[in-house]
Amino acid sequence: MSNPIPESERTEIEAAAFRYLVKHLRDHTDVQNIDLMNLAGFCRNCLSKWYRAEASERGFEISDPQAREEIYGMPYEDWKALYQTGPKQDHK
């Protein structure tokens, strides 16, 4: 039987898992947002909106472009120009 994880450690583990997910998405630029939406029901833009909302809940106001840059690792327009394939659709 495993020991319960203390809440302070749980938060750090969850944060590390989130950072790993973001890195994974940055490393796999061949995976398009539309594919993520179709398969998983969320995409990089969703993550950026969740990030922005959680920052706001804690009193930190960041813009949509700033939140997207946190997830994409670069300005969103740059990412689209470099990696988005097919029709240039913007999932809102």
Structural element, H or E, at residue 55: helix 44-57
What's the pLDDT tens digit per position in 43-64? Answer: 999 999 999 999 999 999 999 9
Instruction: Kindly report the number of other CB atoms within 10 A of residue 79's CB atom.
Output: 19
> Which top CATH class is 31-84?
mainly alpha
* pLDDT at 91 (0 to 100): 52
What pLDDT is stored for residue 8 in this prediction?
A: 86
Q: What is the pLDDT of residues 5-47, one digit of tens each?
A: 999 899 999 999 999 999 999 999 999 999 999 999 999 999 9
Domain boundaries, the chain: 31-84
| Residues 6 or more apart whose Cβ sits within 8 Å of residue 91 | 33, 34, 37, 43, 45, 46
Tell me the two tokens of residue 5: 């994880």
Residue found under tokens 């920052």:
55
